[in-house]
Amino acid sequence: MTNMTSIFYDVIMFPRSTARVVVAFAAIGDMRILLRELERLPSPPRQWIGSETWVTDPDMLRFSLCAGAIGFGIQRSVIPGLRDFLLDLSPQKVSNSPLLTEFWEGAFGCRLGIGTTTGVEEKVCDGSEDIHQLQAPYTDTSQLRVTNMVYKAVYAIAHAIHSIVCEERENSTVNCDKNLHVKPTQVNDKTIV
The 10s digit of each residue's pLDDT in 55-73 is 888 888 888 888 889 988 7
**Which tops the pLDDT comparison, 42 or 131?**
131
Q: Which amino acid is at 75?
A: Q
Strands (E), the chain: 21-24, 47-50, 70-71, 166-168, 174-176
Least confident of 12-16, 39-43, 99-103, 180-184: 12-16
Angle at the Cα of 150 from the Cα atoms of 148 and 178, rounded to 5 degrees = 125
The predicted-structure confidence for 99-154, as pLDDT tens digits, reads as follows 899 989 988 899 987 544 555 667 899 888 988 888 766 677 777 777 888 888 99
Rounded mean pLDDT, 89-107: 89
Question: Average pLDDT, whole number, for the chain?
Answer: 82
Given a cut of 60, whether residue 1 has pLDDT beyond it is no
Q: Could you tell me the pTM of the whole model?
A: 0.55
DSSP for 91-126, written as a single string: HHHHTT-HHHHHHHHHHHT-BSS-SBSSSSB-PBP-
> Is it the case that residue 26 has pLDDT exceeding 80?
yes
The arithmetic mean of pLDDT across residues 1-24, rounded, is 68
